[in-house]
Amino acid sequence: MPRRQLSFPFVRMYCLLAGALIAGLSSHAIAQNTITVCQGCQYESINAALATAVSGDTILVEAGEYQVTQDIRLDARELTILGEIDAGGELLTTLVIDHGVRGFNVEADSTAATQLQYLRIQGAPGVPGSSKVSQRGHGMYAVGAVTVSKCIFTGLKSSRRGGAVYIQVASGDGPDFIDCLFFDNRCIDYGAATEDGDLCGGAVYMNGQDLAIILGAWTP
């Protein structure tokens, strides 16, 4: 496939919209202060770890499935939230995002130094009722910057726009998505009128932003 490049400011996305994650994994240096999240540990959720984390910390989320029942808010602290991955490249850490919740809420003062890596961000099973559907960005709602690499977004559902990710950045940089996979995400129509009457962005919706995306041949 010939390589094509579209370059615009604010948001950069280097991702696979179908297929598998790149098998060659970059090394990751664990920060001096690492907070471990696991079932039965002192911290059993990312939000519990965030309550004590300071800029520069790594939150290591061990292999397993974690229910997310409240938004995970990313602010000005420069943090790394890291899942586990096996030798074959399979992601072992799954975040199951409850209906009516946004998995990650990226605040305006968040920067690209905050990183998410090796996470499977997955919607809760079933179709939510209209009172429980997530509003714009079931997996992530971003008004600031964050670097997301080698993550999977799947089974996420929101009302009207941005089934998996909704981006609305007034100025500065938005999120970067690098080697990420989006599949089986969708917007749900509950019959209420919208500004233009359309369902948009089953995977990603950007409100007023330009997008830089690199498309090219992929070799595992």
71 is written with which tokens? 């938004």
Q: What is the mean pLDDT of residues 60-66?
A: 97
Q: Mean pLDDT over residues 1-28, rounded?
A: 41
pLDDT of residue 133 exceeding 90: no
Q: Kindly report the number of other CB atoms within 10 A of residue 204's CB atom.
A: 28
Q: What pLDDT does residue 198 have? A: 55
* Beta strand extents in 125-188 (DSSP E only): 140-142, 147-149, 152-154, 157-159, 165-167, 176-183, 186-188
Which residue is associated with the tokens 């995306």?
Answer: 213
Distance between CA atoms of residues 97 and 79, nearest Å:
21
pLDDT value of position 130: 57
- The predicted pLDDT at position 17 comes to 45
The arithmetic mean of pLDDT across residues 149-161, rounded, is 89
pLDDT of residue 165: 93
As beta bridge partners, residue 213 has 6, 13
Half-sphere exposure of 118 (CA within 13 A, CB side): 26
The pLDDT tens digits for 156-202 are 988 878 889 999 877 777 888 888 999 999 887 655 544 444 567 78
Q: What's the CA gap between 212 and 7, in Å, rounded? A: 5
Question: Quick check: helix, strand or coil at residue 134?
Answer: strand
Lowest mean pLDDT among 35-49, 97-111, 194-208: 194-208
Separation between Cα atoms, residue 77 and residue 187, nearest integer Å = 31
Per-residue pLDDT at 205: 86
Query: Which of the two residues, 83 and 169, has the higher pLDDT score?
Result: 83
Least confident of 69-73, 102-106, 177-181, 185-189: 185-189
